[in-house]
């Protein structure tokens, strides 16, 4: 067959581009299919920060001299854009009590970056290795023919097919093509929240270099609201709000800036950018491949692998493809790595996410109960981590250090947190 690629990749996000670069460096003939017109234009909501916790998702990321080093996997990526160190992590109760996490030496637990520039830098490296990029092209179907894979694509009104020995699906969280190739069969869908992230200039009163979560009914009826410092200056923030089809994020946003305890910070502010997404929250794929097709990054994840995780997936996927093409079982090797690397692939982690959610979900705790629990930790600084799995453990352990007091002062509240106390006693919060 003429014109067959070694590897076709659907999606020029961080997972797809990293696969393309690494596979091309390994000598493969690679094409990337991307529906956007411009890969550096980011439309989906993304806070764009690297998690700097040692050992996070079995990796440790270091940033130095325009390079991002993945020290365990042994690769690096060029990044020439702006960055901002995030050093304080605050959880705010309805009446302003704060739980504060930070490293004692003020080193950053997260580093914000410009995602568009990061993808542009990565694409330039792909181009140097001879990767072909098909922009404004949607992959909508296809079939694994055994010897090769056929992918059906459409650019404007023009439909055609591409033949490839192996296919990597790196289409992100909505995982449509993943379904077309049969990988979503039996996969649980937990829900499809809407998320909108507003970049707002001219704000006052938010801590610089910080990540904040605001809890309670005056901010949001059922979830926390996130406020992050921005790479665009101290008077600019990113405000991220989750909603659903009955309560869209824009409605919550209007209330926040006009009627909530944080509205005073917005008197002279205006929105300079808005990004959104609907987020299919699938269970992760424990076996992310079938035949000649491998799903990586958010397409195979429970919600998200983050940008750094997407790079890791891309790097390991390319090696897997190379091995598959020389007759080794690369997809099985990838699957072992995938299941060990990510917290959401370890059963207990999902349990902990549920517990963390239960701190945010106001119907479970009243505003008064949130104020009470947060006030117990006022003035303390918990040792900073940023992982969505480590932070809840730390916060709950710190609250439970006041267990006897809670039991005697708030017996009803204590009853609500009894299951978390049990986890603590079983050592699962360590």
Nearest CB to ligand FAD, comparing residues 45 and 406: 45
Nearest CB to ligand FAD, comparing residues 167 and 399: 167
CB of 163 to ligand FAD, least distance (A): 17
DSSP character string of 221-290: SSS-EEEEEETTEEEEEEEEEEE-SSS-HHHHHHHHHHHSTTGGGGTT-EEEEEEEEE--EEPP-SS-EE
CB of 10 to ligand FAD, least distance (A): 5
Nearest CB to ligand FAD, comparing residues 97 and 280: 280
Helical residues (DSSP H) of 108-232, grouped into ranges: 115-128, 176-180
CB of 230 to ligand FAD, least distance (A): 12
The two structure tokens encoding residue 164: 């490839």
Residues with Cβ within 8 Å of residue 29, at least 6 apart in sequence: 5, 6, 7
CB of 91 to ligand FAD, least distance (A): 17
CB of 359 to ligand FAD, least distance (A): 19
- 374-412: buried (b, 16+ CB within 10 Å) or exposed (e) per residue? bbbbeeeebebbbbbbbbbbbbbebbbeeeeebeeebee
CB of 381 to ligand FAD, least distance (A): 22
Query: Using an 8 Å Cβ cutoff, are 45 and 196 in contact?
Result: yes
Q: Is 84 helix (H, G, I), strand (E, B) or coil?
A: strand
Nearest CB to ligand FAD, comparing residues 342 and 374: 342
Query: Footprint of ligand FAD on this chain (CB under 6 A)?
Result: 10-16, 33-36, 44-49, 138-139, 170-172, 177, 195, 197, 240, 277, 279, 297-298, 304-308, 310
Nearest CB to ligand FAD, comparing residues 101 and 138: 138
The two structure tokens encoding residue 116: 């568009």
CA 57 from chain centre, in angstroms, equals 12
Measured CA to CA, the distance from residue 212 to residue 221 in angstroms comes to 17
Nearest CB to ligand FAD, comparing residues 172 and 413: 172
CB of 327 to ligand FAD, least distance (A): 28
Q: How many CB atoms lie within 10 A of CB 225?
A: 23
Nearest CB to ligand FAD, comparing residues 14 and 216: 14
């Amino acid at each position: 067959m003429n014109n067959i690629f070694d590897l076709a990749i659907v999606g020029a996000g961080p997972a797809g581009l990293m696969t393309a670069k690494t596979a091309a460096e390994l000598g493969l003939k690679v094409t990337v299919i991307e529906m956007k017109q411009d890969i550096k234009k980011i439309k989906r909501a993304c806070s764009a920060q690297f998690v700097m916790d040692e050992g996070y998702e079995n990796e440790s990321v270091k940033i130095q001299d325009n390079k991002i080093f993945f020290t365990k996997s042994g690769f690096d990526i060029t990044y020439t854009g702006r960055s901002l160190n995030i050093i304080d992590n605050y959880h705010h109760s309805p009446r302003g009590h704060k739980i504060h996490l930070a490293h004692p030496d003020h080193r950053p637990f997260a580093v914000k970056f410009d995602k568009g520039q990061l993808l542009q830098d990565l694409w330039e490296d792909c181009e140097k290795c001879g990767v072909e990029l098909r922009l404004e092209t949607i992959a909508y179907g296809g079939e694994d023919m055994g010897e090769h894979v056929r992918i059906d694509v459409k650019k404007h009104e023009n439909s055609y097919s591409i033949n490839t020995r192996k296919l990597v699906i790196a289409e992100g969280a909505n995982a449509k093509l993943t379904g077309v190739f049969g990988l979503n069969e039996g996969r649980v869908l937990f829900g499809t929240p809407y998320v909108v992230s507003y970049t707002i200039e001219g704000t006052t009163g938010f801590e610089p270099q910080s990540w904040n979560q605001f809890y309670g009914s005056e901010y949001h009826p059922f979830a926390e609201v996130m406020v992050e410092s921005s790479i665009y200056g101290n008077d600019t923030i990113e405000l991220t709000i989750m909603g659903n089809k009955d309560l869209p994020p824009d409605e919550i946003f209007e209330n926040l800036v006009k009627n909530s305890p944080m509205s005073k910070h917005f008197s002279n502010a205006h929105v300079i950018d808005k990004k959104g997404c609907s987020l299919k929250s699938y269970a992760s794929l424990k076996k992310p491949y079938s035949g000649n097709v491998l799903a990586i990054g958010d397409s195979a994840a429970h919600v998200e692998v983050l940008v750094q995780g997407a790079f890791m997936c891309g790097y390991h996927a390319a090696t897997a493809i190379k091995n598959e093409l020389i007759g080794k079982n690369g997809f099985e090797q990838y699957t072992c790595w995938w299941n060990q690397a990510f917290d959401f692939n370890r059963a207990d982690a999902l349990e902990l996410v549920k517990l963390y959610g239960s701190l945010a979900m106001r119907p479970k705790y009243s505003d008064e109960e949130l104020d009470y629990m947060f006030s117990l930790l006022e003035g303390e600084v918990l040792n900073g981590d940023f992982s969505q799995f480590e932070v809840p453990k730390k916060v709950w352990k710190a609250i439970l250090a006041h267990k006897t007091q809670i039991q005697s002062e708030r017996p009803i509240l204590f009853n609500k947190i009894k299951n978390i106390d049990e986890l603590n006693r079983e050592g699962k919060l360590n």
